[in-house]
Amino acid sequence: MTFARFFRLLLPCLLLPAVLHAQTLRIGLAEDPDVLDPSLARSFVGRIVFASLCDKLFDIDEKLAIVPQLATSYEWAADGKSLTIKLRSDVVFHDGEKFDGAAVKYNIERHKNLPGSNRRGELAPVSGVDVIDATTVRFNLSSPFSPLLAQLADRAGMMVSPKAAQAEGDKFGTKPVCSGPFRFVERVAQDRMVFERFAQYWNKDAIHFDKVIYTPIVDATVRLANLKAGQLDFIERVAASDVGKLEAEKKFKVAHITEIGYQGITINLAKSELAQKNPLGRDARVREAFELALDRQGLVQVVMDNEATVGNQWVSPTNPYYVKGIPVPKRDIARAKALLKEAGVPNPSFTLVTPTTSEAQRLALVVQAMTREAGFDVKIQSTEFATSLNMADQGQYEAYVLAWSGRADPDGNLFSFYGCKQPLNYPGYCSLETDALLAQSRSARDPVERKKIFEQIAARVLKERGIVYLYHRNWLWAYNPKLTGVRSLPDGLLRVSGLRFAS
Amino acid sequence: MAAVLEAVPPKAPLQAGPWRRAGRRLKRRRGAIAGLVVVLLFIAIAVFAPWLAPYDPIETSWSAIRKAPDAAHWFGTDDIGRDVLSRVLWGTRASLLAGVVSVSISLLLGIPIGLAAGFLGGFVDGLISRIVDAFLACPFLILAIALAAFLGPSLTNAMIAIGVSATPIFVRLTRAQVIDIKVEDYIEAARAVGNSPWRVAFRHVLPNIAAPLIVQSTLAIAAAVIAEASLSFLGLGQQPPSPSWGSMLNTAKDFIDSAPWMAIWPGLSIFLLVLSFNLLGDGLRDALDPRQR
Amino acid sequence: MFDYLAKRLATIVPTLIFVSMLIFGLQQLLPGDPAHVLAGEEQDPTVIAYLRTKLHLDEPLPVRYGYWVGGVLKGDLGESIRSQQPVLALVEEKLPVTLELAVMAMIIALVIGIPAGVVSSVGRGRWWDYAANGFALWGLSTPNFWLGILMILLFSVELGWLPASGYVSPFEDLRANLAAMIMPAFVLGNAIAAVLMRHTRSAMLQVLSADYVRTARAKGLSVPVVVIKHALRNALTPIITLGALEFGTLLSGAVLTEQVFTIPGFGKLIVDSVFNRDYSVVQGVVLVTATTYILLNLFADLASFVVNPRLRK
């Protein structure tokens, strides 16, 4: 055998592993997702997986604008009580079933009616869906609801195959059948989720991988170690303290994306009688003093290694709906002390319920130290997550470190938290006028009009300080530099369309 | 924790003066002496921590975050600017306390139950033994996690959780020892004279089964220190801002790459303390076992 | 012997009943409403109410216990509320993984522990006694999760010799499987090695301190190999019993080690489920491991019974 012939035979063998490798995308997640059923799903990390598995009616872009996905266009009726949506005609589910208007109707009804569905509240104002024809549906609303589009750009807009859903019932999540770029192959709990390319995907030209494997690795250090060791191509939620070194080494790319959620401290205003027993819950001046004693920039620096943006509202200062008239207050110890003196409590003491996560613990410690200078005596009570949820729900707390992952429409960061008796209203804030304003913000469709309403809401709720917003964290991703097409979307979810390994 | 569950050591000697002979044997085992010295050193550190520590262990400093060891901070600083050396020194208290209190709880609960099971025999013994078996069949850490989660995250609750989870081992050990010696002549004599069972138990039985219990306790303290570190690693032990080596490791694990000194010093301390207790326990067993020179 | 077997089997049933009550109680009495945890971020009250009914949370504790035990006796261990997988399926998936880890750890422990014990007993007082002692004790004295993280940093990130995580089934790829399991098995096996070393050492010493051996040594003669072999055989009987006992430790240690090395076995599953209040999973898994442990102990007792006629009283 001549050398040339040997080489010609050998070369493809050498390339083969490279070719095979380039076709699988390995993603490291920070948690094991819960059930893979868009109606029952309840975790943030599950949405990352859904990005490969299930297409939605709409999606959002980097500016949080609504863009079409399974839908092609939409049109509001003049009175805002119905929304007509035109659908793509070339979409097929993973099991071969056709996606059409009837499928949309089925899915919306499933989201609303399946026992245990977490989408019920999101689609509450939708009274029904009319199928006009195979590519047109009309959503009928009991009252105008502008956040609807944003809901349909998330899990409430995910479309599953009606045939599979009917067959599996509530066990659908163990064998999901959707219409996304990848189809479900297998899931080993806490080990991996494997998806393979769906050949009939409507946008198949944008998909350059044959397989996607999601691996949950809870420990951030170990997750990063896996990336560095070459076992993963992409990881989410890199620890802020690792970013500096990563960027200096220049071996991996790092993405910093300001989240649409926030980190804050929730204060018990009226959720239970406990609120009135404590000066913090009782007196708005004490709460104002508390906020003035905080140095948000210092918090961001120490707690998040500068991987966050200071904020004081439910949306970040770069968001179009941020109320510029109420900027982030600067630290003012003198004024804080004066307020406390005026309120007659120079050394208020309260317990801060803190989850056991590393960030929350650091945050609590720094807040404790910062506010001590104004005379506050903050006692840190570390509580396991499950227990803390219970405590908050029953109002058995004085202050609580609580973050929110955020929703595309500001209503998602607002309504559940300040509406009277809403499930996430842990402060126990209740005001009929605010409720009316919240309802108005939902009916108005013009962004300018909504902004004015949000300004009014801000003026009312921010001075009560039921939630002291601290900062907006950065989603930190690290990935193989050969990976191109990574889009930095503010919801922190990686989109697989357009991703490829540069050759 | 079951790692320290040994096959039952041989019967304790009945002659007077075994302690002095044991002491002499102990002095000859260099490893055990080294262990004893280190344990005493740690106890001294725990007692004198306020004077030894260069800084306040809970004092934060925004400008000195995660600084590598240098002249100002011999062990470096942690993620919110606290001096690691001071925290390690103060943390000795929490770790020693965790070890000693947990084992004390186990002894206080385990010995009486074991005595009852051994002496009373019959149904009581059967019941106790089955319950002990049930506890031992559940993985120790799971029991401790569930108990600690139930009680709430704090050092005290972690100690209670570890102590309760380790009790079955002492029950079993005590019971086995009691069964062995309750047939001895002097015990039967004491009963015949009319002493109440409790009096017999405490005055006659206990001193004679003390040796294996002491050995087991020393080894159990070692295991308890590690158990506290494990619970803290999961967020269930000592809570901030108080220092404990286990919770320091819990915080440090997120910064292993950027600030390894945060993990090295508390980890090393745990290792040294546990090693010393193990050496001491080994030495005590050798010294108190009459069959070895 | 059948008498003994029958008596032992009779004790297993009450033990198992107590185990079930213990783990059920520990789970159900944990603070925090699982319905809230499992209802996710949105905390929709309808979902919470639905979960409470589904999990029978509003019914008294003994009734819930009854539901669970009834299911277990029919072979239904319930299902994970979080992922909807049947617990039995989870057990089938993960038991082999943890078992493999435990077996590998045991082998490593034997390979390190027994020779260390022999060396230590023969060379009493000499430097290799301390060295062997030290090496075995090191395993027992280091928190295994800390050792695990350090090993990952050294062997995976710095040297790149071994994968940082990622379990592969041995039937798929044996080499990759061993590469992924060797570090966690070592971390686990270390601690057991120390215990085995102690046992081997003390059993060996019992033989070696016999008069004729002492005389020989006093005369300056070295201990013949045949005596060492005899001592070793003496030591092996309790090893069997100890092995079964240590299985419990392995499961306990596996909890954190699996977390650090991302091995998808029982340990990791249990910890996550405790924090997520996924009751059925914890109860089911602990019941299975406890049963395995009890049966292993029984087997070990029978084995030593057979091996050592002196135990048959």
- What pLDDT, in 10s, does the model give residues A56-94? 999 999 989 999 999 999 999 988 899 999 999 999 999
Burial class (CB in 10 A: 0-12, 13-18, 19+), A349: middle
Range among A402-406, B239-243, C110-114, C172-176 rated most confident: A402-406
Residues 422-441 of A with CB under 8 A from C: 423-424
Residue C263 distance to chain A (closest CA, Å): 7
* A106, amino acid identity: Y
- Record: contact A384-B235, CB cut-off 8 A: yes
Residue B165 has which token pair?
């989870």
- Record: contact C34-A386, CB cut-off 8 A: yes
Residue C222 has what pLDDT? 65
- Record: contact C26-B229, CB cut-off 8 A: no
- Record: contact B129-C140, CB cut-off 8 A: no
Residue B59 distance to chain C (closest CA, Å): 26
DSSP state of B156: H
R_g of chain A computed on alpha carbons: 25
The answer to whether B116 and B128 have CB atoms below 8 angstroms apart is: yes
Q: Residue B120: enclosing H or E segment and its boundaries?
A: helix B84-120
- Record: contact C83-A189, CB cut-off 8 A: yes
Residue B105 distance to chain C (closest CA, Å): 19
Chain C interface, best mutation among A191, A245, A385, by max C CB count within 10 A: A191
CA distance C30 to C26: 6
Residues 226-255 of B with CB under 8 A from A: 235-236, 239-241, 251, 253-255
Tens of pLDDT along C5-20?
788 788 888 888 888 8
Q: Which residue has the higher pLDDT, B146 or A156?
A: A156
- Record: contact C286-B145, CB cut-off 8 A: no
- Record: contact B253-A221, CB cut-off 8 A: yes
Q: Residue A12: which pLDDT band, with cuts at 50, 70 and 90?
A: very low
Neighbours of chain A (3+ CB pairs under 8 A): B, C
Q: Answer whether residue B6 shows pLDDT above 50.
A: no
Return left, alpha or beta for C253; rule: phi > 0 is left, psi -120 to 50 is alpha, else beta: alpha
Residue A360 distance to chain B (closest CA, Å): 11
Q: Virtual CA dihedral for B132, B133, B136, B142, nearest 10 degrees?
A: -90
Tens of pLDDT along A189-248?
778 899 999 999 999 899 999 999 999 988 888 888 889 888 899 999 998 888 988 999
C273 vs B: CB within 8 A:
no
CA distance A467 to A267: 6
Indicate the length of chain B as a whole number: 293
C28 vs B: CB within 8 A:
no
DSSP E strands in A30-181: the ranges are: 58-60, 66-68, 71-76, 82-87, 126-133, 136-141
- The CB-side HSE value for A354 (13 A sphere, CA atoms) comes to 28
Q: Residue A18: which pLDDT band, with cuts at 50, 70 and 90?
A: very low
Mean pLDDT of chain C: 79
Q: Which residue of C has its CA nearest to A417?
A: C42
The answer to whether A86 and A73 have CB atoms below 8 angstroms apart is: yes
| Average pLDDT of the residues in B185-195 | 73
CA distance B11 to C172: 52
Q: What are phi and psi of C6, to 5 degrees?
A: -65, -45
**Proportion of chain A above pLDDT 70, given as a percent:** 95
CA distance A234 to A128: 41
Range among A454-458, B157-161, B196-200, C75-79 rated most confident: A454-458
Q: Give the residue ranges of DSSP H helices in C123-224.
A: 127-141, 144-151, 174-208, 211-218
- Record: contact C40-A41, CB cut-off 8 A: yes
Q: What is the DSSP string of A174-217?
A: GS----SSEEEEEEETTTEEEEEE-TT-TTGGG---SEEEEEE-
pTM for the model = 0.83
Residue C84 distance to chain A (closest CA, Å): 7
Per CB-CB distance under 8 Å, the chain A contacts of C47 are 116-118, 120
The answer to whether A225 and C153 have CB atoms below 8 angstroms apart is: yes
Per CB-CB distance under 8 Å, the chain C contacts of A112 are none
Residue A358 distance to chain B (closest CA, Å): 7
Mean pLDDT of chain A: 90
Tens of pLDDT along C228-270?
666 666 666 667 667 777 777 777 677 788 877 878 888 778 8
A225 vs C: CB within 8 A:
yes
Please report where in the chains the tokens 């004599």 appear, as a residue: B189
Tens of pLDDT along B27-71?
667 778 888 899 999 999 999 989 988 888 888 887 788 888 888
Q: Answer whether residue A108 shows pLDDT above 90.
A: yes
Residue A212 has what pLDDT? 95
The CB-based long-range contact list for A70-75 (8 Å cut-off, 24+ gap) reads A70/A99, A70/A157, A70/A159, A70/A179, A71/A152, A74/A149
C154 vs B: CB within 8 A:
no
C131 vs B: CB within 8 A:
no
Residue B277 has which token pair?
């207790």
Query: Which residues, in sequence order, are bridge partners of residue A184?
Result: A195
| Average pLDDT of the residues in A264-292 | 92
- Record: contact C242-B7, CB cut-off 8 A: yes
Q: Smallest Cβ distance to A222: which of C34, C36, C260? A: C260
Q: Residue C309: which pLDDT band, with cuts at 50, 70 and 90?
A: low
Q: Smallest Cβ distance to C268: which of A43, A171, A190? A: A190
Which residues on chain A place their C-beta less than 8 Å from a C-beta of chain B?
219-221, 224, 239, 241-242, 244-245, 298, 301-302, 356, 358, 361-362, 364-366, 368-369, 380-384, 387
C104 vs B: CB within 8 A:
no
Residue C221 has what pLDDT? 64
Residue C20 has which token pair?
């079930």
Q: Smallest Cβ distance to B153: which of A244, A358, A384? A: A384
Burial class (CB in 10 A: 0-12, 13-18, 19+), B291: exposed
CA distance C148 to C183: 7
Q: Answer whether residue A291 shows pLDDT above 50.
A: yes
Q: Answer whether residue A155 shows pLDDT above 90.
A: yes
| Average pLDDT of the residues in A162-172 | 90
Q: What are phi and psi of A352, to 5 degrees?
A: -105, 110
Residue A217 has what pLDDT? 87
Instruction: Please give the C-alpha separations between residue C229 and each of A270, C108, C199, C233, C234, in angstroms, as whole numbers.
Output: 77, 21, 15, 6, 9
- For A350-369, give one letter per residue: b (16+ CB within 10 A) or e: bbbbbbbebbbbbbbbbbbb
Q: Which residue of B has its CA nearest to C30?
A: B150
Per CB-CB distance under 8 Å, the chain B contacts of C101 are none
Q: Answer whether residue C223 shows pLDDT above 80.
A: no
Q: Answer whether residue A424 shows pLDDT above 70.
A: yes
C268 vs A: CB within 8 A:
yes
CA distance A143 to A125: 6
Lowest mean pLDDT among C201-210, C221-230, C258-267: C221-230
